[in-house]
Amino acid sequence: MDGFTKAVAGLTDFIWGVPLMVLLIGGGLFLTARLGFFQFRYFPHIVKQTFGKIFSKSEGDGTLTPFQATTSALASTMGAANIVGVPVAIALGGPGAIFWMWLVALIGMGTKYSEVVLGIHYREKNKEGEYVGGPMYYIKKGLGWKKVATFVAFALMIEIVASTMVQSNSIATSMSGSFGLPPVATGICVALLVILITYGGIKTIGKVTEKLIPFMVVIYLLAALTVLVYNFKELPQAFMMIFEYAFRPMSAAGGFAGAGVAAAIRWGLARGLYSNEAGMGTAPIAHSAAMNNHPAKQGFWGVFEVIVDTLVVCTITAMVILTSGVWQTTSPDEASNMVTQAFIPVFGSSIAGTIVSATLFLFVITTVVVIIFYGEKQAEFLFGTGFSKVMRFVYIAAILVGAIGGLQFIWQFLDLLLAAVVIPNVIAVLFLSGKVKEITKDYFTNLYPVEKKKAAKGGNRHVRTTESDGNAGAD
């Protein structure tokens, strides 16, 4: 068994090393170039269409508002990766890793946008009258690769069993360490909450995430910004280190073991790729349920995700770590505790631990709820809506088993199964990039001028009827 485990670990490390980095970054660069670097050229417009319309009335067909769909997708990306993953990247890659994290986020915007556009374009209604979509649908309908679509759906459905167990175990461990709560009790609490939320389907999930995700982000950012104000004199030095050590090695200092440029690039790129999930095929599953009158407009919300997740939350976490100096006094093995250590001088040990643990708990709850929804949609695609309900109970069982640390041999397949989803998904998106370009051109030719006039007039009512005439390429 040890030999088998090492073989799986070795294969996983190889695939998630250079091969997937080349595919994800190269794919992102190709899509960015083919779409005319739209995320830079039209950045102010994208901001107006997302941040500026969070509370606006939705237009077009769909099950969720664009913001609900986006917070649902964000729920699966935001969590331990933002609070724990960033310190690990700094511990192993140095401050320069943050520069490369920013770079891959800017490139990943093109990939995430393309996935969401294809998800909306190729979506369909299920027997319950809800809009469903995702990589399995655009691979099947856009390329005619039925066997590949089936493989992707099956791999993701199984991967979510392992992912749910790992998420449940992480929160059970955290709650046990912080509050002395038995893991089985945490597992039961998480399972009951997930049952209550998922029972109402995507509409209930959307309503929960649109309230909980902003609340969690605001609470965490307020705490983090308080620490930054406390350490404001160190901010210029922190930014200088990010840019300086992105291109030259940094020597060891205190608990920091030192890092070369290659390590900065490796860990920065890995953190950027993992944090926003661009290319992983999960986001379009949630976005496909959104009400919108054009795929490109929902695609902008995919860009919004990358901004919030990586460029805002991950960056604030990095600044907290760098300005507080904990990265120089904490060994890489203890990197997961760096945020708590950075909070202690400002809030005290008890409050700092409570803030981080409570935030992680809420992040994990929303993550588990949304990935279970993703798993159900894979089961529905493969075997119908009835079987998707069966898989819901399988995932609930995985929460309980994971909380107590059972069946850990399954966990080792998590990254391998995820790679089995990412590779065909990115290849499919690249093959369908012509369709994405066509839809994007349609938007900027027909709807973009209308949106500019609307912004100039400062009103909504006059243009709404005009917008509905430009619904080219939505379905």
Domains of the chain: 7-443 (1.20.1740)
Single-letter residue type at 165: M
CA pseudo-torsion sign 269, 25, 17, 425:
positive
Consecutive sets of 10 residues in the chain, 475 residues long: mean pLDDT of each? 78 82 91 95 92 77 82 79 82 87 91 96 90 95 96 94 86 78 90 87 83 87 94 93 84 57 76 80 92 92 92 93 88 79 91 86 86 93 90 93 77 81 95 96 88 67 38 38
* pLDDT (0 to 100) of residue 362: 85
Tokens standing for 192?
A: 């009951």
Q: What digits encode the pLDDT tens for the residues 283-313?
A: 999 999 998 889 999 999 999 999 998 999 9
10 Å CB burial of residue 127 (0-12, 13-18, 19+) is exposed
Contacts of 179-186 with C-beta under 8 Å, sequence gap 24+, read 179/357, 183/403, 183/404, 183/405, 184/400, 184/403, 184/404, 186/403
Cα–Cα dist 295/288, whole Å: 9
Q: DSSP alpha helices (H): ranges in 231-384?
A: 235-244, 261-276, 283-287, 295-306, 315-324, 326-329, 338-347, 349-383
Question: Coil, strand or helix: which one is 199?
Answer: coil
Cα–Cα dist 122/138, whole Å: 6
Q: What angle do CA 461, 465, 470 make, to 5 degrees?
A: 130
Tokens standing for 111?
A: 């990939």
Q: What digits encode the pLDDT tens for the residues 117-173?
A: 999 999 999 888 889 999 999 999 999 999 999 999 999 999 999 889 888 887 887
Tokens standing for 359?
A: 């935030």
Give Dmax (Cα) for the chain: 68
CA 261 to chain centre: 26
